[in-house]
Structure 1
Amino acid sequence: MAHIHETLFHVFCFLTFGYGLYYDTLVVRHGWSVYAGKTRYATYWDVVLQTVYFGLRVVVDLTHGWKQKKSFRDPNESTKLKRLVNWISCAMAFPLGTFVCLSFWGLYFFNREFIYPSYLDDIIPSWLNHILHTMPFVLQILDKYVVNHSYPRRVSGIFGILSLTICYQLWMAWIAHYTRSWVYPILDYLPLLYRIIFLGSMWTCLVLLYLAGELLSHVFWRTRRKTMKLV
């Protein structure tokens, strides 16, 4: 089985996002009355993704690590499920989770009414807000430190995050076409050219975050290997 601290960490992450997803879906009903409900928001896509990823990571920890006895397991020695989970982490969960958190809090501190109007404080508990908009970034950073991720070929990883981004943007465009209003009000005020630039900038940001995750994983594990050699 995987190291106990890895398994406990992933169980904690899965329960955190799983409970947040349950509460946001079934308890906080605000947001479901409009067309497409909360599935119109990148935050909801992200919390679903984080829940699925950490749930699969728990399965991998419990079922695919029994014969591994090395302190630092070779990430290339893996089953198809481990490779899939690893790809989801590198290509989707880290860049999307980081993007959602950084963009949310950036807009929040600039002008919260653009992203999270003050009346929502009476509807959404503060702890749930942090599960949705803070914990993805924090727990993904910790996951990079706890797990030695074997990054896929860069083309494959970037293809993954851009495919997810395009799917979400097409979904947003359909909602805007159907409702005559964009999910994020700022897009209603932008001319077509600036709207395209705004949406295109998401691609750049997410690719850069993918590369940042790759670099971060390399730095973490290069440092830990050097530390182990000195012990």
Structure 2
Amino acid sequence: MTEKPYALIHASILGVTVFGIWYDYVYVVFPREIAPEGQWKLPWKGRSKFLTMWNLVLQTIYFFIALLNDFIGSNENVPAKVPLIRKVKDYIFSSLAFPAAMYVGVTFWGLMAIDRELVFPKVLDEFFPTWLNHLMHTNIMIFIFLEMFLTYRPYPKRKRGILGMTLFLVTYLIWMHVIYFYSGLWVYPILQVLNWPLRIVFYLVSLVFGIAFYMLGEFSNNKLWSKQISQSKRSGRKKTN
């Protein structure tokens, strides 16, 4: 595939994610009785408390970098010299964009199927459009799987990849507890009904899920691009000889 179709696809996805962020910020307004006073003081109209928004911003950053790579980097499977922006793009996809998109999508719809009041109470439907909900929790999985099929990337060493994903989740957990410390409010209702031992178990299970989604990405990439991975390894051996 030439660079132009890559750029068209990446620009289209970038446009969708940017539009979702803009629409949510400008047009989605929750009444004070739904969004408590303490949470209105948070950045981005209080949206910074949600992992969904962290992920949507992350996906936007990734596809912006992917678009830049289409113009100033390289989409060759095994380029003779890998541009820096291509290295950044590949690492962000592997360690952050793919596992985060899958984590947000799967956990959100999984909890919705169990008891939606624990994650997205029905009262929000009046103020939050269904299409925007799917953009944030469904489309992000479709887009990241499309990218998995679209371009090849060598996965980093597993420790480096999982470390990046873990730091992302831990940073969010710290931010969530900062919010609780100052407001006395939990971001997600499910945390309100759990005691501290069960919350810790919930966090550990969440981390295991994150690692599992990272491994899913690595496995899928290795299956889809097995020929390119072999070619890359042969090329690497030649350079060291």
- Relative to the length of structure 2, the TM-score reads 0.85
Q: Distance in 2 between matches of 1:189 and 1:122?
A: 24
Following superposition, the deviation at residue 88 of structure 1 comes to: 0.7
Task: After TM superposition, give the deviation of residue 176 of structure 1 in Å.
Answer: 1.1
Per the alignment, residue 200 of structure 2 pairs with 196
Deviation at 1:2, TM superposition (A): 4.8
Equivalent-residue separation in structure 1 for 2:90 and 2:137 (angstroms): 23
In 1, Cα distance between equivalents of 2:186 and 2:117: 16
- 2: CA distance, partners of 1:76 / 1:99: 34
* Aligned mate of 2:101, from 97, 103, 108: 97
Code of the residue aligned with 2:17 in structure 1: it is F
- Deviation sequence 1:42-90 (CA, Å, 0-9, x none): 001000000111011001011223xx7xxx6216741111111111111
2-structure distance, mates of 1:180, 1:25: 24
Residues 75 and 148 of structure 1 are in contact (CA less than 8 Å); yes or no, is this contact kept in structure 2? no
Deviates more, 1:4-13 or 1:24-33: 24-33
Aligned residue runs from structure 1 range 117-132, under 5 A: 117-132=121-136
2:165 matched residue in structure 1: 161
Q: Is the Cα–Cα contact under 8 Å of residues 145 and 220 in structure 1 kept in the other structure?
A: yes
Q: What does 1:105-120 align with in structure 2 at a 5 Å threshold?
A: 105-120=109-124
Aligned to 1:18: 18
Distance across 1 between alignment mates of 2:79 and 2:100: 23
The letter for the 2-side match of 1:38 is R
* Deviation, structure 1 residue 102: 0.3
Cα deviation, 1:6-45, whole Å, max 9, x if unaligned, reads: 2221111111111111111222133596242111110010
The one of 53, 67, 77 equivalent to 1:44 is 53
Native 8 Å contact 2:78 2:228 kept in 1: no
Give the Cα–Cα distance (whole angstroms) in 2 for the partners of residues 97 and 212 of structure 1.
Answer: 12
List gaps (5 residues or longer) in structure 2: 230-241
Q: Structure 2 vs 1, CA of residues 156 and 32 (structure 1 numbering), >3 Å: closer, same or farther?
A: farther
Task: Name 1:229's counterpart in structure 2.
Answer: none
The answer to whether the 8 Å contact 1:97/1:140 transfers is yes
**In structure 1, distance between residues paired with 2:80 and 2:199:** 42
- Once the two structures are overlaid, the 10-residue window that deviates more, 28-37 or 155-164, is 28-37
TM-score, normalised via structure 1 length: 0.88
CA offsets, 1:191-216, max 9 Å, x none? Answer: 21111110111111101110110111
Amino acid at match of 2:213: L
Q: Distance in 2 between matches of 1:146 and 1:202?
A: 28
